[in-house]
C-alpha cells in the first residue's frame, strides 16, 4: 500500500534501486489541428521548483496533505491506472500512517534538468528531467512524462493509460 502513493510519482521512485531499474518512459503528446502551445521559461522554472519542493516535503505530514502539491497534478491526470483522486486518497492514507508510525519515510528524491517541449494545441507537452534518489545507492535516472499547460500553470498529466506498468 505504501508504494501506491507513488503512482503519480512513478518516475521519482523509479530512481530508487540499484541503478539497473528500467527507464520510465512517457508518451509523446498526441498531434492534432490548431496552434501548438508554448511553455515559457518562467512557467517551466515554476513547475520544476514547485514539484521539487513538493517531493522534498513528502517526508512530512504537511507535505503529504499539501493541496499545493496535489494541484501539481492535472484534473485529467492518469498514469498507469492512477488518477488524481486516487493519488489524493493515497497521500491522505500515507499522512495517516505517518501520524501513527513516524519512522515511515519516502525516499528522498530531487528533480533536475527539467525541460518541457513538444507541446500540442491542447497544451499537452513532453517533460524530460533527471530524478536522483540520495539513498544509500544514490541513483539518477531519466524521467519522461506528459504535462499539461492550462490556465498558465504546468501540471503533471501522466501517460494517460489505465494499465499499470510493471
Report the predicted TM-score, pTM, of the whole model to 2 decimal places. Answer: 0.77
The residues spanned by each domain of the chain are: 2-156
Q: With contact defined as beta carbons under 8 Å apart, do 119 and 130 qualify?
A: no
pLDDT by position in tens, the chain (length 166): 333 333 344 333 333 333 333 334 445 555 555 677 899 999 999 999 999 999 988 888 899 999 999 999 999 999 999 999 999 999 999 888 888 877 776 667 889 999 999 999 999 999 999 999 877 778 899 999 999 999 999 999 999 988 776 5
CATH number for 2-156 (one of 3.10.450, 3.30.2310, 1.10.3470, 3.30.1490): it is 3.10.450
Q: CA-CA distance, 66 to 62, in Å (whole number)?
A: 6
Residue with cell 528531467: 129
Q: CA-CA distance, 128 to 29, in Å (whole number)?
A: 13
Amino acid at each position: 500500500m505504501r508504494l501506491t502513493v507513488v503512482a503519480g510519482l512513478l518516475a521519482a521512485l523509479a530512481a530508487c534501486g540499484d541503478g539497473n531499474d528500467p527507464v520510465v518512459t512517457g508518451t509523446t503528446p498526441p498531434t492534432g489541428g490548431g496552434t501548438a502551445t508554448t511553455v515559457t521559461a518562467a512557467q517551466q522554472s515554476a513547475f520544476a521548483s514547485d514539484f521539487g519542493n513538493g517531493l522534498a516535503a513528502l517526508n512530512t505530514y504537511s507535505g503529504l496533505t499539501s493541496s499545493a502539491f496535489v494541484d501539481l497534478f492535472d484534473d485529467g491526470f492518469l498514469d498507469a491506472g492512477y488518477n488524481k483522486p486516487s493519488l489524493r486518497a493515497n497521500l491522505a492514507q500515507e499522512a495517516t500512517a505517518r501520524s501513527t508510525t513516524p519512522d515511515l519515510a519516502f525516499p528522498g528524491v530531487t528533480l533536475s534538468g527539467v525541460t518541457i517541449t513538444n507541446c500540442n494545441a491542447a497544451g499537452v507537452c513532453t517533460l524530460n528531467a533527471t530524478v536522483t534518489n540520495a539513498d544509500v545507492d544514490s541513483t539518477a535516472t531519466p524521467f519522461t512524462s506528459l504535462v499539461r499547460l492550462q490556465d498558465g500553470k504546468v501540471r503533471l498529466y501522466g501517460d494517460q493509460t489505465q494499465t499499470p506498468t510493471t
